[in-house]
Structure 1
């Protein structure tokens, strides 16, 4: 219920209550707030239980769309569009390629023009043999 209220806000409320109510009435007010919250929680639980008893299995069918709506709280439209357009490829243009030629598309820049280090025929690096160590680029490390 208090998911968005942090400890800082609670501390501010306690200090404000201390100044407004004074140290004599603050414990009584805190007890009243606690009892009220407990009553509200009991009413909500009783209402949910009564609905479940009256509706039977239809209650679960009603709750499913509500749970789906709660799942939309973490909806990220940018991520969804990227997954839909690029089939989940996080780097569709190859901009994070290690060889530094501007992309993983044969030496061309993201705009399609040849990069500075592009050759006429793009060559695939040979795969390493078992036990062979990869080449080290001292400038990159």
Structure 2
């Protein structure tokens, strides 16, 4: 639930709570929050257990499309092409990669002339 909150954020919240609530009310507030979170977690696990009991084996049939949907949610265009068109063979992508991980892109510009005295062509419609 709070997996994306680091220790620095927790310390900031603790200091803010200490300033707002004061040292005499902070322990009671912490106990109330932990008790509330534990109760919400128990309600959620109880609801899941109740659904499993009522639906029986159909519960797994209900979870299967949801897990497939979660897999689709995490797919990028590259993984979709690799999985469905290339049957998991991503060697076509690795042949175009440089050693540092950047991809090679073919240049669309014409190579510059090496003659020093030669002037580049001018397009009168572009100027």
Q: TM-score range by the shorter chain?
A: 0.5 to 0.7
Pick closer, same or farther for the CA change 1:82–1:51 going to 2, 3 Å.
closer
1:24 equivalent in structure 2:
24
What is aligned with 2:12?
A: 12
CA spacing shift, 1:69–1:15, aligned 2, 3 Å: farther
Range with greater deviation from structure 2 (76-85 or 36-45): 76-85
| Larger RCO (alpha carbons 8 Å, 6+ apart) | 1
CA 1:82–1:64 in 2, change beyond 3 Å: closer, same or farther?
A: closer
In terms of mean alpha carbon deviation, does 64-73 or 42-51 score higher?
64-73
Instruction: Evaluate the alpha carbon distance shift between residue 88 and residue 96 of structure 1 in structure 2; reply closer, same or farther with a 3 A threshold.
Output: same
Structure 1 residue runs of 5 or longer lacking an equivalent are 98-109, 112-141
User: How far off is 1:91 after superposition?
Assistant: 2.9
Q: Deviations over 1:90-122 (max 9, x none)?
A: 3344x659xxxxxxxxxxxx67xxxxxxxxxxx
**Larger deviation: 39-48 or 1-10?**
1-10
| Equivalent in the alignment of 1:91 | 94
> Structure 1 residue 82: deviation in Å?
5.8
TM-score (norm. length: structure 2): 0.63
More helix by share: 2
Report the counterpart of residue 48 of structure 2 in structure 1: 48
C-alpha RMSD of the superposition: 2.9
Instruction: Normalising by structure 1, report the TM-score.
Output: 0.58
What residue ranges of structure 2 are gaps of 5+ in the alignment?
100-105, 108-127
Counterpart-to-counterpart distance in 1, 2:7 and 2:60? 35
**2:63 is paired with a residue of what secondary structure?**
helix
